[in-house]
Amino acid sequence: MTYALSIHVESYEFSGEFYFLGDGYDTGGDVLKHVATDHILTMKQRPHAAEYLLETLQEGENVSESVYEQAEPDVSCGLHFDVDHQQFQFWIGDRSVDIGRQPTKSELRSTADDLSI
The tens digit of pLDDT for each residue in 58-87 reads 777 889 999 999 999 999 999 999 888 888
CA 83 to chain centre: 13
CA-wise closest residue to 72 among 25, 12, 3: 3
The tens digit of pLDDT for each residue in 7-37 reads 998 888 778 898 999 999 988 999 999 999 9
DSSP string, 23-49: ES--SHHHHIIIIIHHHHHHHHT-SSH
Exposure string over 37-52, b if 16+ CB within 10 A, otherwise e? bebbeebbeeeebeeb
Question: Residue 117: its pLDDT value, please?
Answer: 60
CA-wise closest residue to 8 among 41, 36, 38: 36
